[in-house]
Amino acid sequence: MRGSSAVAGGIFLSRLAGLVREALLRSVLGLGPAADAFAAALRIPNVLQNLLGEGSLSASFIPVYSRLLGEGHEREAGRVAGAVAGMLTALAGALALLGILLARPLTLLLAPGFSDETLDLTVDLVRITTAGVGFLVLSAWCLGVLNSHRRFFLSYVAPVLWNAAQIAVLAAAILGSWDPVDAARALAWGLVAGGALQFGVQAVAVVRLVPGIRVSLAAGLPSVTEVRRRFGPAVMGRGVVQLSGYLDLILASLLVTGAVAGLLSAQMLYALPVSLFAMSVAASELPEMSRAGDPTLLVSRCHSALRRTSFFVTFAAVAYVVAGETIVGALFRWGAFDADDTRVVWLVLAAYSIGLPAIGASRIFQNTLYSIGDTKGPARIAATRVVVAGVVGVVFMFPMDHVSVVAGSLSGLENVFAGDGPHVEIPGALGAPHLGAVGLALGSAVAAWLELALLTRLGRRTVEGFPSALGTLRPLLPALAAATPVALILVTTTAGLPPQVSAPLVLAAAGLTYTVVAHLTGVAEAKLLFSRLVRTSRG
């Protein structure tokens, strides 16, 4: 619990800074062309970071490095860490150079539906942001080293610096009334500066923790060979996940202007409980699972991690569906972001949230399989999820793009089944956000549950006693049944209040109801939460 609490604390502060950044970003750029260009430009550095960063290192480097530390081979562990750092530096540098040189064709592939003006701006932003990708990749390497030594907090709070650099730029843009295009370019440079700060603060900690570490290209070490063997399938698995993100972006660019930015705003909120409650538990458990030689202990840790994750993530999913409009409004509704934008982002978020419990459980199952050296199985399942998400998303997104939100009401429902494909220019579309992105989110939700089912089947074939995610959700139903009407009533009765006031009231009342009922019905995680609160209140 202590490790996951440290991870969650760091992630919370980082996400809080990210929400401030996103709120300022929406105020400066709104959901217009500059916002779409900046959102698209972030995808290329993000995909390189995720391909070579934490996700791949969690599957390959952390299990090997943690095992060496657990066996007392500190010197060999240091040599492995240095070799992995050298490999990542070379790969990130080469790919960043290619990204800069091939910015235009990559942008055409990424967002084929953009207008010429938006496309040109996106190309400029891609060249800037890609230059800083090496800092973010090496930050993930630092995270792997620190996590393996059970130093969890710093790596997860370090992104505050990444966000802070961009917040400073956005504050200057607001005070100086900058043009959105100029603000987007300055923000791209702020992103690079933030990446350097994020890496620097962790690198200092790594050198202090492992003073003899040396960056090298010593690929012949047996443990490095094992890392490389695991790294390939892990990169492929992360690659298909990133392909899913690219696919969403490409498809969203075919929808009415604003779909890309709206999708990204919803994804930020959707990722918050996954990061706080699934990633925190999975990240802290991975080194321990990798050290566990007993399959019984491995299953026990997996089951405990699954229960903790499900308790929090499932409540978040229901809260987003029931009170999502209030939550979105509290965070984003100011400046250029109006009430109709708020409703659209809420509907996208609600669609994503249908798959939220499955995403949380899948993260635990993936790391359990990684800890025993299986990176190929999760990669194949991730590829299946991407295909299903794309197919289902296309089926829903074009019909739903006929529907817009005008003065808080849905318009164009009669055209949903017109069946005549994309509508980049719909009569009356100007200034009215549309719901095409909701279709993409529904595709992701359907695919998330399929991925969970396939991971469960793989786990049961590989590890005896592998737990069931549905089994951990069933005890939560009474608490969810009690909390949902509380949230609905408060959303209705506080509708006249500013969302910054009503959202905390709704979440606090619903959360308290959920926790109390879960405690009364014997949910262990609620009992543990209450005992910790009592200890804290007593000092």
pLDDT tens for 257-280 read 677 778 888 888 888 888 888 887
Candidate ranges 44-53, 107-116, 397-406, 521-530; pick with highest mean pLDDT? 521-530
Tell me, what's the pLDDT at 446?
95
Domain extents in the chain: 1-231, 254-470
Tell me, what's the pLDDT at 506?
95
**What tokens does 324 get?**
């999502």
Instruction: Please give the span between the terminal C-alpha atoms of the chain, in angstroms, as a whole number.
Output: 19
How many angstroms separate the most distant Cα atoms in the chain?
69
Tell me, what's the pLDDT at 420?
53
pTM (predicted TM-score): 0.75
- pLDDT band at residue 408 under the 50/70/90 scheme: low
Residue of 318 and 213 predicted with greater confidence: 318
Contact assessment for residue 474 and residue 497, using Cβ atoms and an 8 Å cutoff: no
**What tokens does 347 get?**
């509907």
- Whole-angstrom distance, CA of residue 38 vs CA of residue 32: 10
pLDDT over 90 at 450, yes or no: yes
Candidate ranges 12-21, 56-65, 224-233, 525-534; pick with highest mean pLDDT? 12-21
- pLDDT band at residue 16 under the 50/70/90 scheme: confident
pLDDT over 70 at 221, yes or no: yes
Number of Cα atoms under 13 Å in the Cβ half of residue 59: 27
CA 201 to the chain's CA centroid: 22
Tell me, what's the pLDDT at 40?
80
- Whole-angstrom distance, CA of residue 313 vs CA of residue 346: 17
Tell me, what's the pLDDT at 80?
83
Out of 321-325, 326-330, 337-341, least confident range:
337-341
- Whole-angstrom distance, CA of residue 510 vs CA of residue 324: 13
**What tokens does 505 get?**
């009231």
Torsion of CA 477, 483, 488, 493, to 10 degrees: 170
**What's the one-letter identity of residue 118?**
T
Residue of 413 and 520 predicted with greater confidence: 520
- Whole-angstrom distance, CA of residue 237 vs CA of residue 369: 13
